[in-house]
Amino acid sequence: MVEITDDAPASVEDELRELRTELDDRIPAKWLDHNLLIGTWNIRCFGNVTKKWVSTSSDSPKRDLHSLLCIAEIVSRFDVVAIQEVTGNLRALRYMLKYLNYPDPHWGLILTDVTRGDPGHDERLAFVFDKRRANLSGLACELVIPEDKVPDAEAATLRQFARTPYAVSFVSGNRTFILVTLHVIYGNVSQREAELKKIAEWLSEWARQVNAWDHNLIALGDFNTNRRGDKLYDAFTSTGLEAPQELHDVRRTIFADSAGESYYDQVAWFTGDQGAPRLSLEYTGRAGGFDFVDLVLKDRALSKTSLSWRISDHYPLYVEFSMEKD
């Protein structure tokens, strides 16, 4: 049976070369001791994979090794990437890491167990990281709401986070930063608004604590927020979290006709407003998404829905920070 590290068919290799060229053009290059690239990507139902280069109509799942190589090439451009919608089945994630670590093993993984219950959809949250550029610094935890922090008036819409946010600390050079990834419940608007507001409050309080240790706090993932000015976006930013301007006009999903339709996926941090300490990492002003639709699986004439099950329905986002020494 074919393996992810086997030589791919010529047509796949040709497409991957073109994909790498586009990635070179659209995403900043990794530059040791100069920059740090943090990404986030909701990879649709990232679970099982069919061990063929090209899946057929009778195969389930439709995601195949060709698709997985495309995903891996995109992931490889980041130093740390938060991945949402990892499922209980880890085959696709394990194969992707096997490819990234062949023949030079330098990629690491840390992830949660699956979230039980219907709202959690059997999902995990994961971080994949390039150990040449960033490493674990010790902390890993899930964020839960103390019972006394949920007023009776809110209990009907929010008892606990549907998918518990996952926080992991990393160190790169002499900089320590904590990434908090989450996938906010889609549900109804009231549920989303309550969860977003409580997450924002939790992060604001925690940012004050970790600032004493000179740790940076960055939130990233699928917040399921609507456009700026909407009450969901206002809940997300209610305690001072702010996404960079450069992400405001980036499309989040392959089904969006234009930018600004939704702000589902975000990378955000505190800028010093409303009492939360300002991020000390220096943002370079470079951030964006990566539109892969016309670059992958081009010879299959797939609908966007079909493509979403092989790659994803969401685009990856990234932000760049300076790591140059003061």
Q: What DSSP assignment string belongs to 180-215?
A: EEEE---S-HHHHHHHHHHHHHHHHHHHHHHGGGT-
pLDDT averaged over every residue in the chain: 90
pLDDT tens digit sequence for 186-220:
877 888 888 888 889 989 998 888 876 778 899 99
Q: Is residue 260 domain-resident?
A: yes
- pLDDT of the residue at 15: 98
Q: Is residue 157 domain-resident?
A: yes
Using an 8 Å Cβ cutoff, are 202 and 145 in contact?
Answer: yes
pLDDT tens digit sequence for 42-100:
999 999 999 999 999 999 999 999 999 999 999 999 999 999 999 999 999 999 999 99
Q: Is residue 189 domain-resident?
A: yes
- pLDDT of the residue at 262: 75
**CA atoms of 220 and 206, how far apart (whole Å):** 15
pLDDT tens digit sequence for 156-167:
444 556 678 999
Q: Is residue 100 domain-resident?
A: yes
Domain enclosing residue 60, as ranges? 10-322
The tally of domains found in the chain comes to 1
CATH number of the domain residue 103 falls in? 3.60.10.10
Which of the 8 DSSP states describes residue 168? E
Q: Is residue 1 domain-resident?
A: no
Q: Is residue 2 domain-resident?
A: no
Q: Is residue 299 domain-resident?
A: yes
Indicate whether 117 pLDDT > 80.
no
| Closest-CA residue to 216 (of 160, 282, 261) | 282
Dihedral sign computed on CA atoms, order 149, 182, 185, 59: negative
Q: Is residue 16 domain-resident?
A: yes
pLDDT tens digit sequence for 124-151:
999 999 999 999 999 999 887 766 655 5
